[in-house]
C-alpha cells in the first residue's frame, strides 16, 4: 500500500513536469494542442502526445482541499475525498476521447472555432470508479433525468462556466467512470487532475475535467454549454445555413470513423514499389469497429485491411494496415472506410454550423511518379500586425493563434466579435469596423 502511494506520487510528479512533444499548437492561451498524424502509430496514446482542449485557463487543484460533491436528486448528498474514491471498487477501460470539433478545418464552407485537423483525439487507459456506484451510494432518486458535471476551471470575462450534462442512462451505464488515472499514472493536470468524467463512445465535451461536482437533475439542464454550444442538427443542412440552437440536439455519440495516418497527404511514391497504408479506426454507440476497407481507385473498388491483433475493445481504437503496390504513374486518392455493426463511414460529409463530428470516409491524395512534379501553392500572405486597440481588446484574454487559424467571412467575423463582446471583451464602437477589416483582410475564407 505504501509502495503504491509512493509510486503514485512519484509518477504523478513526473507527469506534471512532463512537457508535451511535437504537438500542433492551436492556441497557446488557453492551451489547445493537437496530436500530429504520427500519433496514430501508437495504440495507447502516450500522455506527452495526448491532445489538450481547454476552454479557459487550466486550474491548479490541491488534493488536500479538493472534494467531490454529489448532490441534487439524491437521498444522501455526499462530499468525497480522493481517499474515499480510491477505497471504492475500481475499473479500468481503454477508450478513445475525441473532441466534437475534430476535423472541423475540413468543412467547406469554413466554420468558426479551433481548426482541428485529425488529431484532437487519443486512445488511453482510464481507471476510476463507476459513476453508477457513486450515484447509488448517494441514493440517486428515480426522478433523475440528467447528471450535470462541473469542474474547478473558472470562466474568463463574462462567459459562462463550462458545465455539461449527460443523460441518466449514460450516467448509470457501467462503462461511465470518474477517472483518477490515465495510462497507469495519476491523472495529469492538463487532463483533469484529480478527477474527470469518462463517457466512452461519446465526444469529449462530456468528459468534464477537474471535476468538483456531480448533480442529479430532474429536468434537462438549460445552461449555455448544453442549450447553445455543442449542438448539431442531427441531419445534413445546406452548407452555410444558420440553424437556431433549439432546432438542434446535443452532441453525444461519436460516429464510426477511420483516419489514414500514412502515407501522408501529397506523399510521393514510386511505381512498382510496395507501400503500407495504415491508420486507426474508432466508434461510438453503434458498437465496436468491425472492419476497415480501403480503396486506391477513388472509391470504385474496396478491399479489407488487416486489423492488428489484440485490440478488440468496445471503446478503444483499432489499428489497421494494408500493402499496396501502385503500378501506373498517376495521382491517386486513397480512401478508408470503417464499419461497426450498424454504422459505416459515409461517402459525403453532411455540413453542420459548428463543424462537429467530422466522420466522412477518409481520403489522402498521393503522387505516384518516377520524378516528383512540383506540387502545391503553399504561399501564405504574411498577416499585417494587429493594432494596439485590437491587442488590448482581444489579445489580453487569448492568443493570436486561435484567430489566425480561422478563415471566416466578414459576416462570420462579425458574429465572432459579438460573441466576444458578449463574453466581456471591451470593443469601442469606433474600433469595431477596423477590427473587422483586420480580421477579414488577413483571415478571410480560403481560396
Instruction: Give the residue, chosen from 93, 166, 208, 260, that forms a contact with ligand MTE under the rule CB under 6 A.
Output: 208
- Which residue stretch of 169-177, 206-214, 232-240, 352-360 sits at the interface with ligand MTE (rule: CB under 6 A)? 206-214
Locate 237 and state its grid cell. 443542412
Binding-residue total with ligand MTE (CB under 6 A): 18
Interacting positions 57-86 with ligand MTE (CB under 6 A)? none
Residue placing its CB nearer to ligand MTE in the complex, 239 or 399: 399
Rounded CA-CA distance 71/138 in Å is 8
> Using CB distances below 5 to 8 A depending on partner kind, what does residue 357 bind out of Mo ion, ligand MTE, none?
none
Residue placing its CB nearer to ligand MTE in the complex, 53 or 337: 53
Residue placing its CB nearer to ligand MTE in the complex, 208 or 338: 208
Residue placing its CB nearer to Mo ion in the complex, 150 or 205: 205
Angle value at C-alpha 224, between 403 and 425, nearest 5 degrees:
40
Asked if 113 interacts with ligand MTE (CB under 6 A), we say: no
Residue placing its CB nearer to ligand MTE in the complex, 161 or 173: 161
Where on the phi/psi map is residue 255: left (φ > 0), alpha (ψ -120 to 50), or beta? beta
Residue placing its CB nearer to Mo ion in the complex, 232 or 337: 232
- 231-232 vs 249-250, strand pairing mode: antiparallel
Locate 222 and state its grid cell. 438549460
Asked if 162 interacts with ligand MTE (CB under 6 A), we say: yes
Asked if 251 interacts with Mo ion (CB under 5 A), we say: no
Residue placing its CB nearer to ligand MTE in the complex, 163 or 363: 163
Q: How many CB atoms lie within 10 A of CB 347?
A: 10
Interacting positions 262-321 with Mo ion (CB under 5 A)? none
Q: What is the DSSP letter of 206?
A: G
Interacting positions 180-239 with Mo ion (CB under 5 A)? 205
> Using CB distances below 5 to 8 A depending on partner kind, what does residue 170 bind out of Mo ion, ligand MTE, none?
none
Asked if 20 interacts with ligand MTE (CB under 6 A), we say: no
Instruction: Give the residue, chosen from 125, 170, 191, 278, that forms a contact with ligand MTE under the rule CB under 6 A.
Output: 191
Q: How many CB atoms lie within 10 A of CB 24?
A: 17
Residue placing its CB nearer to ligand MTE in the complex, 166 or 366: 166
Interacting positions 76-115 with Mo ion (CB under 5 A)? 99
Maximum pairwise Cα distance, the chain? 73
Binding string, residues 130-159; x marks residues near ligand MTE by CB under 6 A: ---------------------x-x------
The rounded radius of gyration (Å) of the Cα atoms in the chain is 23
- Residue 355: how many CA atoms within 13 Å on its side-chain side? 20
Rounded CA-CA distance 220/227 in Å is 10
Measuring CA to CA, how many Å separate 68 from each of 83, 162, 196, 214? Answer: 11, 17, 11, 8
Strands (E), 35-136: 68-72, 78-80, 91-98, 121-130
Asked if 35 interacts with Mo ion (CB under 5 A), we say: no
Instruction: Say which residues have a Cβ less than 8 Å from residue 180's Cβ, sequence separation at least 6.
Output: 82, 85, 86, 127, 128, 186, 187, 194, 195
Residue placing its CB nearer to ligand MTE in the complex, 80 or 294: 80
Exposure string over 312-341, b if 16+ CB within 10 A, otherwise e:
ebebbbbbbbbebebeeeeebebbbbbbbe
Strands (E), 19-159: 24-27, 32-34, 68-72, 78-80, 91-98, 121-130, 146-151
Instruction: Give the residue, chosen from 35, 52, 131, 256, that forms a contact with ligand MTE under the rule CB under 6 A.
Output: 52
Asked if 318 interacts with ligand MTE (CB under 6 A), we say: no
Rounded CA-CA distance 36/45 in Å is 11
Binding-residue total with Mo ion (CB under 5 A): 3
Binding string, residues 209-228; x marks residues near ligand MTE by CB under 6 A: xx------------------
> Using CB distances below 5 to 8 A depending on partner kind, what does residue 207 bind out of Mo ion, ligand MTE, none?
ligand MTE
DSSP per residue, 349-375: PPP-TT-----S-EEEEEEE-SSPPP-
Residues at the site binding ligand MTE, with contacts judged by CB under 6 A: 50-55, 97, 99, 151, 153, 162, 191, 204-205, 207-210
Interface residues with Mo ion (CB under 5 A) are 53, 99, 205
Amino acid at each position: 500500500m505504501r509502495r503504491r502511494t509512493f509510486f503514485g506520487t512519484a509518477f504523478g510528479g513526473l507527469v506534471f513536469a512532463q512537457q508535451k512533444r511535437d504537438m500542433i499548437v492551436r492556441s497557446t492561451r488557453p492551451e489547445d494542442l493537437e496530436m500530429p498524424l504520427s500519433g496514430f502509430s501508437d495504440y495507447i496514446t502516450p500522455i506527452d502526445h495526448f491532445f489538450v482542449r481547454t476552454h479557459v485557463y487550466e486550474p491548479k487543484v490541491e488534493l488536500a482541499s479538493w472534494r467531490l460533491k454529489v448532490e441534487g436528486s439524491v437521498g444522501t448528498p455526499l462530499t468525497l475525498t480522493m481517499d474515499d474514491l480510491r477505497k471504492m471498487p475500481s475499473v479500468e477501460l481503454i477508450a478513445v476521447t475525441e473532441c466534437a470539433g475534430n476535423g472541423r478545418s475540413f468543412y467547406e464552407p469554413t466554420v468558426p472555432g479551433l481548426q482541428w485537423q485529425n488529431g484532437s483525439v487519443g486512445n488511453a487507459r482510464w481507471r476510476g470508479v463507476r459513476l453508477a456506484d457513486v450515484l447509488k451510494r448517494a441514493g440517486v432518486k428515480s426522478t433523475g433525468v440528467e447528471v450535470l458535471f462541473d469542474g474547478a476551471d473558472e470562466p474568463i470575462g463574462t462567459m459562462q462556466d463550462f458545465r455539461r450534462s449527460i443523460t441518466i442512462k449514460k450516467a448509470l451505464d457501467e462503462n461511465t467512470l470518474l477517472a483518477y488515472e490515465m495510462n497507469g499514472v495519476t491523472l495529469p493536470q492538463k487532463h483533469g487532475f484529480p478527477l474527470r468524467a469518462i463517457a466512452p463512445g461519446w465526444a469529449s465535451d462530456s468528459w468534464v475535467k477537474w471535476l468538483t461536482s456531480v448533480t442529479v437533475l430532474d429536468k434537462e439542464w438549460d445552461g449555455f454549454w448544453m442549450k447553445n454550444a455543442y449542438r448539431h442538427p442531427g441531419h445534413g443542412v445546406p452548407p452555410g445555413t444558420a440553424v437556431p440552437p433549439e432546432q438542434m440536439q446535443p452532441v453525444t455519440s461519436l460516429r464510426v470513423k477511420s483516419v489514414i495516418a500514412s502515407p501522408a497527404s501529397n506523399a510521393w511514391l514510386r511505381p512498382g514499389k510496395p507501400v503500407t497504408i495504415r491508420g486507426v479506426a474508432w466508434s461510438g454507440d453503434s458498437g465496436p469497429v468491425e472492419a476497415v476497407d480501403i480503396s486506391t481507385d477513388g472509391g470504385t473498388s474496396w478491399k479489407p485491411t488487416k486489423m492488428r491483433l489484440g485490440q478488440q475493445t468496445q471503446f478503444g481504437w483499432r489499428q489497421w494496415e494494408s500493402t499496396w503496390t501502385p503500378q501506373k504513374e498517376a495521382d491517386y486518392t486513397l480512401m478508408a472506410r470503417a464499419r461497426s455493426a450498424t454504422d459505416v463511414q459515409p461517402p459525403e460529409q453532411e455540413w453542420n454550423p459548428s463543424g462537429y463530428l467530422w466522420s466522412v470516409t477518409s481520403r489522402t491524395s498521393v503522387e505516384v511518379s518516377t520524378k516528383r512534379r512540383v506540387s502545391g501553392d503553399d504561399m501564405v500572405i504574411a498577416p499585417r500586425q494587429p493594432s494596439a486597440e485590437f491587442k488590448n481588446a482581444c489579445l489580453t484574454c487569448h492568443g493570436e493563434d486561435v484567430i489566425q487559424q480561422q478563415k471566416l467571412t466578414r459576416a462570420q467575423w462579425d458574429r465572432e466579435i459579438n460573441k466576444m463582446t458578449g463574453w466581456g471583451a471591451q470593443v469601442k464602437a469606433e474600433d469595431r469596423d477596423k477590427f473587422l477589416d483586420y480580421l477579414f483582410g488577413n483571415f478571410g475564407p480560403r481560396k
